[in-house]
Amino acid sequence: MMKKEWHTWVKEGAVLYCAIYTVTTIANSVLYLMQGIRNDPNGNWHELTRAAIVLIGVLAYELAAHLPIKNILVRAAAVYALTMPLVFGTVWMSGFIEPLSPGALMDITVNYSGLFVIVSVIAVAAEKIQQKH
């Protein structure tokens, strides 16, 4: 039984990862092209950092969906407490490869936290609606 659940969890996460990474990469490319920039000035390391951040985001989603914590707010707080240091650490470590912009750590903190809150609010609302039906 556990092996089947694990397989489903990994498959779901892999599909979600591929979809999010593809959409964010295409959106980034389109935005650059609209500005007349033909090549990504951030280069390949930036792509690998984006891949790592998306992976952490998918991990956060999967943890939130599968952690055996009944209270959704406590579950969200636990997931945030586990994943935010991973996000922060990933960006910080990328600074050893290429210099970070002065606001890089603040940017990722705001962006990840903001997206996390938005997804959490949607999840809480969806759970409330589901409980009513």
- Quote the pLDDT of residue 73: 85
pLDDT means per 10 residues in the chain (133 residues)? Answer: 72 86 88 86 81 91 88 91 95 89 90 89 84 83
Tell me which residue range forms the domain holding 87: 2-132
- Quote the pLDDT of residue 2: 66
Structural domain tally of the chain? 1
| Dihedral (Cα; 19, 24, 30, 31), 10-degree rounding | 160
CA distance 107 to 119: 18
Is this prediction's pTM over 0.75?
Answer: yes
CA distance 114 to 119: 9
Please classify residue 110 by burial: count the beta carbons closer than 10 Å to its beta carbon, then call 0-12 exposed, 13-18 middle and 19+ buried: exposed
CA distance 104 to 47: 15
- Quote the pLDDT of residue 128: 83
